Structure 1
Amino acid sequence: MTTELWTIGDFARESGLTPTALRLYDDLGLLRPVEVDASSGYRRYAPEQLAQARLVATLRLVGMPLARIEEVLGASPAAAARLVRAYWLQVERDTASRRDIVSALVDQLESEEPPMTTSTDTLRAEIGTSHRTGSRAAQQDALIARPGLVAVADGFGERADLASAVLAAFASGGLDDAVAVVASDIAASLPDAPRSGTTLTAVTVTGTTASVTHVGDGRVWLVRGREVRQVTHDHTVVAGLLESGQLTVDEARSHPHRNLLNRALVPGDAPDELEVGLEPGDRLVLTTDGIHTVVEDLPALLVSPAPAQRIADEVAKAVAAAGEPDNHTIVVVDLS
């Protein structure tokens, strides 16, 4: 009996990968199609290759080098398990060694920091927002949009109001109060199994300085003229591998685990804190992942000279046109 082969499109849908990722795996020699049409070049795959495709995607996700992936694919299941275990043990040892180097470097840099001077000039802010539930049953995003403080949070788990509670605490008492809300929620859960969590991305504007507090996969964007810069770094497994060049942009965009957070707002894990100098004419934009993981041409929308509220509305329309699979929130701040 001959097994019916799947087109690359059918195989992509079944495996949760994209045709581009599958073509990449073919080029790298990690997953060859069973058949390639001599005239059209169309690739066809067998259903029994699904497990291998998913294994390749997972090994790419943990950052395993190509040569080691080839070894795992050629080994028996028991031998493959030993190879993966050995690789990860080395990663842990390498990380421990680098930790000491980083600690010494941070101490050195902090000792060289000159006294900070801040401007007393106050920039005027025009703010636009959009805050929609999308295809979710409940709204777990939250936002603050007021002069001097803008913030977004993206909650997950059982408690639908956790993100809004965290932002309210942050606005009234700062980061410690926000963390205390999460700590209280964790204490009410089973040990080591919190039922809810949230990200936090906040910008406090003082004079001409934006102070950013960030943990999770919300984003802060700075638009200056026609240039759009992502100020924050996503705290996801996929984002780290993308930055290091271990995943391609297409793999990162389509990976089955692309939304897997490796940091959220929890006691004992300090968020990223940074400062950005501002100029009249700048635009600050905050988005939850329901925006930037859906709208591929987001920078093109953000550089429009339209007013802040119109920008927020146009971005929300683009998310809706893409099916708005998640809660989505955007805050646009035009400074003058």
Structure 2
Amino acid sequence: MAEPEEVEVRMNDTDMLTIGAFARACRLSPKALRLYDELELLRPARVDPDTGYRYYAVAQLERARLVAWLRRLGMPLARIREVCAMPPTAAAEEIRAYWADVEAQTAVRRDLAAFLVAHLSSPSRKDTTMLELRYSAHSDPGRVRPANQDTAYAGTRLLAVADGFGPAGAPASGAAVEALRFLDTEEVPAGNVLNLLEEAVRGATEAVRDVADADETGTTLTALLWTGSQLALVHIGDSRAYLLREGGLFQITHDHSVVQSLIDEGRLTPEEAGAHPQRTLLLKALTTGAPDLKLHDAHRGDRYLLCSDGLTAVVSEHRIRELLTAHPSPEEAVQALVDAANEAGGPDNVSCVVADVV
């Protein structure tokens, strides 16, 4: 209930403040205090049963000020609740860890901003010297799965990774990639590349339906089609494509998964997503949704990575960037990435395609 304007008075009880007085003392608004009461983060010491007025003990000021400071840091309320429940030394370590995460995320956003500025500021590429790809692909069953349901392919024009699932997962991923392979030998007109790729994906979808004899069978698909100066991207599912440019690693696909939708809605953090029980559930696969299609300008020195979630589920993006940077040839980089996934337990099939723009 809304509370009327209050006068800063003390109750008969010792060391008790009205909500207005307490708000001014701890630099939190009465509205914020009501919210923290509802969330059981900062409960009033007493609520008048007749008027509903909230009263706070002076001893609660220290906790209230800590909450106010942590909110100024931008810490989520759920994490503030955890910090407030810790002894001071553990709380200090948690705040240090939180701020390290903030600085890391800020660095990533800074790099992304620099990439976007450079990308959007680049002049027309009509007169740019034609470039070509140097590439390598490898698919590995991992250390746990009895069979490999991934398919990876790399050619002069086409790069692709598909991650099959269900009873006929391997034939499904193979059929999807095989249906695109004709693009590797066709001259691709730059102005019509997205339409050509979209038509090819429709053929891949039908090919998967032909081999998928159960509703539980399907495949992801992430592919890049090279025109000589641009790459057309098609993506559906939770396999990924990354761009390594000038030392920065950028994910250029968006996962079509349950946990990614929860992250997008703010209901889950990326750190929590790795342990979520529904982390493998897809919202879209090749036969159950429309893929993303987009066009990327390529720069000399760019390195592209396509991979199944057998890599990204167990190897951090920081480590992926290190391995892509450390190994000069695509063959070495692919092998290092697959080895890293297997060294982390290899719980899933892992497929990687690395291509350099040269």
Interval of TM-score (by shorter of Structure 1 and Structure 2):
0.5 to 0.7
Cα deviation for residue 131 of structure 1 reads 1.2
Trace 1:12-161 onto structure 2 (pairs within 5 A): 27=79, 121-134=129-142, 135-159=144-168, 160-161=170-171
Q: Name the SS of the counterpart of 1:164 in structure 2.
A: helix
- CA–CA separation in structure 2 for the residues paired with 1:266 and 1:251: 29
- CA offsets 1:165-209 (integer angstroms, 9 cap, x no match): 1110122371121011123245x44xxxx1310001010010211
Deviates more, 1:204-213 or 1:123-132: 123-132
Amino acid at match of 1:155: G
Cα deviation for residue 311 of structure 1 reads 0.9
Matching of residue 317 in structure 1 with residue 327 in structure 2? no
The answer to whether the 8 Å contact 2:257/2:284 transfers is yes
325 and 118 in structure 1: CA distance in 2 versus 1, 3 angstrom threshold:
farther
Tell me which residue corresponds to 1:334: 356
Amino acid at match of 2:299: E
- CA–CA separation in structure 2 for the residues paired with 1:332 and 1:119: 27
144 and 118 in structure 1: CA distance in 2 versus 1, 3 angstrom threshold:
farther
Tell me which residue corresponds to 1:251: 272
Structure having greater relative contact order (Cα 8 Å, sep ≥ 6)? 1
- CA–CA separation in structure 2 for the residues paired with 1:244 and 1:262: 15
Tell me which residue corresponds to 1:165: 175
TM-score, normalising length: structure 2? 0.59
Return the match for 2:329 from 298, 307, 311: 307
Tell me which residue corresponds to 1:175: 201
- CA–CA separation in structure 1 for the residues paired with 2:290 and 2:298: 25
Amino acid at match of 1:257: Q
Q: What count of residue pairs does the alignment treat as equivalent?
A: 232
195 and 279 in structure 1: CA distance in 2 versus 1, 3 angstrom threshold:
same
Backbone CA RMSD of aligned residues: 2.9
- CA–CA separation in structure 2 for the residues paired with 1:215 and 1:27: 33
Choose 1 or 2 for highest CA Rg: 2
The answer to whether the 8 Å contact 2:162/2:222 transfers is yes
The answer to whether the 8 Å contact 2:302/2:356 transfers is yes
39 and 282 in structure 1: CA distance in 2 versus 1, 3 angstrom threshold:
closer
The answer to whether the 8 Å contact 1:119/1:208 transfers is no
Trace 1:164-203 onto structure 2 (pairs within 5 A): 164-172=174-182, 174-185=200-211, 188-189=213-214, 194-203=215-224
- CA–CA separation in structure 2 for the residues paired with 1:308 and 1:327: 20
Structure 2 residues without counterparts, runs of 5 or longer:
1-75, 92-123, 184-199
Return the match for 1:278 from 298, 314, 323: 298
Q: Name the SS of the counterpart of 1:161 in structure 2.
A: helix
- CA–CA separation in structure 2 for the residues paired with 1:223 and 1:290: 20
Tell me which residue corresponds to 2:69: none
The answer to whether the 8 Å contact 1:119/1:207 transfers is no
TM-score, normalising length: structure 1? 0.63
169 and 41 in structure 1: CA distance in 2 versus 1, 3 angstrom threshold:
same
- CA–CA separation in structure 2 for the residues paired with 1:281 and 1:244: 35
Q: Name the SS of the counterpart of 1:142 in structure 2.
A: strand
- CA offsets 1:233-280 (integer angstroms, 9 cap, x no match): 01101112223432112111211111111000016x221000110011
Q: Name the SS of the counterpart of 1:303 in structure 2.
A: helix
The answer to whether the 8 Å contact 1:154/1:218 transfers is yes
Cα deviation for residue 305 of structure 1 reads 5.2
- CA–CA separation in structure 2 for the residues paired with 1:263 and 1:163: 15
The answer to whether the 8 Å contact 1:225/1:303 transfers is no
- CA–CA separation in structure 1 for the residues paired with 2:247 and 2:87: 45
328 and 37 in structure 1: CA distance in 2 versus 1, 3 angstrom threshold:
same
118 and 289 in structure 1: CA distance in 2 versus 1, 3 angstrom threshold:
farther
Tell me which residue corresponds to 1:17: none
- CA–CA separation in structure 2 for the residues paired with 1:182 and 1:131: 19
Matching of residue 214 in structure 1 with residue 240 in structure 2? no
Cα deviation for residue 151 of structure 1 reads 0.2
Tell me which residue corresponds to 2:59: none
Tell me which residue corresponds to 2:248: 227
